[in-house]
Structure 1
Amino acid sequence: MKLTFWGAAQQVTGSMHLLEVGHYKILIDCGLDYEKDTYQEENQEFPFAPASINLVILTHAHIDHSGNLPTLVRMGFNGQVLCTPPTADLASILLFDSVELFLRKQGRKPRTKRGNFSGPKPLYLHKHVMDTIDRFVTIAFNQPFKINGDISLTFIPVGHLLGAAAAVLIINDNGEEKKIAFSGDIGRENYPVLVKPEAIPEVDFFVCESTYGGRYHTKDQTLEERLVKEIEEACIKSPGRLIIPAFSIGRTQSLVFALNQIFTKKLLPPVQIFVDSPMAIHATDVYRKHHNLVNQEAKDFYKTMGDEFEFEHLAYVQTMKESKDVSNYYDPCIIISSAGMLEGGRIQDHLYYNIQNYYCTILFIGYCAKGTLGYKLLSGAPIVRIKDREMMVYATIRQTDLLSGHGDHDDLVKTVKQTGKPKQVFLVHGEDKSLQLLMAALQEDGFNVVAPERGEVFEI
């Protein structure tokens, strides 16, 4: 049995791991690698023949795990993609949105009479996304699924995002039973809407994410306390606005539920809230569809108070006209918009009109990769480029990790310990510092740990 690491190796994005059992090839995740300068061109250069892959296992819907599936299909993959039902629904939304982003970068109108476009050629089009969705086969949590006579798969809930799973494989390798698990992205306990991560069973080999290795989430303040403080300072004490960049899928739903609880308890006077993201509207419908998979707190709230994602003074913004109307709304308000790292999406319009507003606070609630506009603002850049214009930063920039969807260092160590004493732990999906700090902690506890390089092969 052979394991090759083709993505998220000593970096965060682009998860893609190849497991070969004899001649049978399984790809675990197929995400977009955003850490390449020309990522659209480079993401279509697979280090293997896509047609040679027999099966894909998708741990969850986020684009750094799912976003290159249509490219794989376009280039010859013709097998099934196994995932949970919510992952299939959410990935469909995200993949169609990726096409729109590609087209916007390319430019919809030809720049020459011959029909040439100014930007990079799209990685894939709507047709390829539809072909990919046709390959989705959904499997419920904790239900063993027989892939073939030698391999079975079980999805274990790990929080992080609705439908997110660790993939546990039991394999008959020439008469020897071997167990290997891929963590996907590990969530947290007590996170709004999402279930806490379940223990991953004991395995022989474990591939574990390390995003928050060496880092710890805030523990001396609750999410409710922090949100109340930020809203009070930005919208109550002064006639300002609070802009919260949030990924449309996952982060927005958890944030809306947290705000619902705050205003239901009357911890603050009413403040108008806008969710400016059509994708968030579609994603929220997916959360309603799979309501049986949300956590008990959300289920109990629904029974007593109704829909977690609807309340007074909350408005979902659909059209561009409505979005522009939000920009012209001058009373204190909260604007939740995507994308979370500020790379594209309607959030850029809100930044354009507010980055030089002294009465505006921008609250980051998630990770921002190096090179993104969000990263530059969090790094204290005094001037940033928004929509081809250099702009001074006068708005207040804040950040909290209380809505981070990733487990921290202690959560990751706990997850690894639950797997028993694997012969080998492989750390992926992390920046170098996080990888090294998590590796050192695990080695101190007696684990055999390695952080594979891209393309590194292991006989297991």
Structure 2
Amino acid sequence: MKLTIWGAAQQVTGSMHLLQINNYNILIDCGLDYEKGNHQEQNLFFPFDPSNIDLVILTHAHIDHSGNLPTLIRMGYDGQILCTGPTADLTEILLFDSVNIFLSKQKKKPRNRKKHHSGPQPLYLQKHVMETVDRFVTIGFHKSFRINGDIELTFVPVGHLLGAAAAILTINDQGTIKKIAFTGDIGRKNYPVLVNPDTLPPVDYLVCESTYGGRFHSKDASLEDTLIKTIEETCVKNPGRLIIPAFSIGRTQSLIFKLNQIFSKGLLPPVEVFVDSPLANHATDIYRKHHQYVNEEAQSFYQAKGDEFEFENLTYLKTQQESLAVSNYLDPCIIISSAGMLEGGRIQDHLYYNIQNYYCTILFIGYCAKGTLGDRLLRGDPIVRLRNRDLMVYAKIAKTDLLSGHGDHNDLMDVVKQQSSNSLKKVFLVHGEINSLSAFKTALETEGYEVEIPERGVGYEL
């Protein structure tokens, strides 16, 4: 049995792991790599022949885990993609959204007069996404699925996103039973809407994400208290507007539910809330469709008060005209819009009209990669460029990590420490920046675990 880490090796994006068992090749995740240069070009070629892959397992829908599946199929893969039901539905809308992003980038790129062609060609088109969706085979949690005579798969919930799973493989490797787990991305405990990460069964090998290795989430205040304080200062004591950049899938649904709880308890006077993201609207419908996968808190709320994603002062904006009309809404309000790092989407319209508004607060609830507009605002740039104009930043910039979807260092340690250091043969750390990987590795080795930080393309005989 051989493991090769082909993606998210000493970096965060592009998860892709190849497990070879008795001439049977399984690819775990096939995500887009955003780390270097032109990501469309660097994701076009695979370090193996896609037609030689026998099976794909998808841990969850986020695009850094799923986003290159249509390219894999376009390049010759003709097998199934195993995942949970919510993952299949969320991946479908994310992949179609990726096509739209590819096409918009192609249109915006200035035409090269000498070469007579426009910008980068899309990695894939809608027809390739449709072919991908047709390959999904959905499996429930904790249900053993026999892949062939030697391999069984079980999905274990890990929070992070609706339907997200760790993949547990039980393998008969030439008469020896071996178990390996791929965590995907690990969520947080007591996160709005999502279940807590479940305990993983004992395994021989663990491939573990490390996004927050060596880093810890804030403990000073609860999410509810933080939101109440921010809304009160912005929209109750002052006639302002609170703009919250949020990723459309996962973060937005958890935020809406928390706001629903706050207003339903009467902890704040009613404030109009606008959700301005077509993708978020579709994702919320998927959360409703797969309601059995939300946590007990959300299910109890539904039984007592109804749909956790609807309340009296909440409006889901659908058209571009409805979105633009919000700029003329004069009363205090909350605007939730994408993209979370401000690198496109309708959020840029709201920024353009409010970045110079002294009564506006922009509250970041997620990570902003270096160089993005969100990162520039968070580091305190006094001037930003929007619509080819340099605008002074008069709005208040705030941030909270209490809605981060990733477990922190302690959460990651808890997952690994479920395994006995005497029986777990090796931990492979992936999906993290080098500082996080190193800090996590040091902490695990202190606990007696054997740890490896793989380089891209290095194979390990297990």
Query: What is the TM-score normalised by the length of structure 1?
Result: 0.97
- Alignment match, 1:339: 339
Structure 1 pair 100/242, CA: closer, same or farther in 2 (3 Å)? Answer: same
Which sits farther off after the overlay, 413-422 or 55-64? 413-422
Instruction: Give the Cα separation in 2 of the matches to 1:147 and 1:337.
Output: 41
- Alignment match, 1:358: 358
- Alignment match, 1:409: 409
Matched-pair contact (CA < 8 Å) for 1:107–1:117: no
1:42-441 counterparts in 2 under 5 A?
42-107=42-107, 111=111, 117-421=117-421, 422-441=424-443
- Alignment match, 2:460: 458
Q: Give how far 1:355 is off.
A: 1.8
Matched-pair contact (CA < 8 Å) for 1:110–1:117: no
Matched-pair contact (CA < 8 Å) for 2:111–2:119: no
Letter in 2 for 1:445: E
Structure 1 pair 134/244, CA: closer, same or farther in 2 (3 Å)? Answer: same
Structure 1 pair 419/117, CA: closer, same or farther in 2 (3 Å)? Answer: farther
- Write out per-residue CA displacement over residues 186-233 of structure 1, whole angstroms, 9 at most, x where no aligned residue: 011111111111001111110101111111112221110000011011
Instruction: Give the Cα separation in 2 of the matches to 1:402 and 1:110.
Output: 40
CA RMSD of aligned residues (A): 1.6
- Write out per-residue CA displacement over residues 11-65 of structure 1, whole angstroms, 9 at most, x where no aligned residue: 1111111111121111110111111210011111211111111111000000010
Q: Give how far 1:390 is off.
A: 3.2
Structure 1 pair 4/109, CA: closer, same or farther in 2 (3 Å)? Answer: closer
Q: Give how far 1:109 is off.
A: 10
- Alignment match, 2:21: 21
Q: Give how far 1:246 is off.
A: 0.7
Q: Give how far 1:432 is off.
A: 1.4
- Write out per-residue CA displacement over residues 353-387 of structure 1, whole angstroms, 9 at most, x where no aligned residue: 22222221111111122232222222222333334
Matched-pair contact (CA < 8 Å) for 1:109–1:117: no
Query: Unaligned stretches of 5+ in structure 2?
Result: none
Task: Give aligned pairs, total.
Answer: 460
What is the aligned counterpart of 2:450 among 443, 448, 451?
A: 448
Letter in 1 for 2:59: T
Q: Give how far 1:113 is off.
A: 10
Instruction: Give the Cα separation in 2 of the matches to 1:395 and 1:118.
Output: 37
Structure 1 pair 303/71, CA: closer, same or farther in 2 (3 Å)? Answer: same
Matched-pair contact (CA < 8 Å) for 2:188–2:197: yes
Aligned partner of residue 406 in structure 1, secondary structure: coil
Aligned partner of residue 107 in structure 1, secondary structure: helix
Identity between Structure 1 and Structure 2 (%): 71
Matched-pair contact (CA < 8 Å) for 1:203–1:420: no
Instruction: Give the Cα separation in 1 of the matches to 2:373 and 2:55.
Output: 36
Instruction: Give the Cα separation in 1 of the matches to 2:152 and 2:308.
Output: 37
Aligned partner of residue 25 in structure 2, secondary structure: strand
- Write out per-residue CA displacement over residues 251-278 of structure 1, whole angstroms, 9 at most, x where no aligned residue: 1110000000000011111111000011
Structure 1 pair 363/173, CA: closer, same or farther in 2 (3 Å)? Answer: same
Aligned partner of residue 169 in structure 1, secondary structure: strand
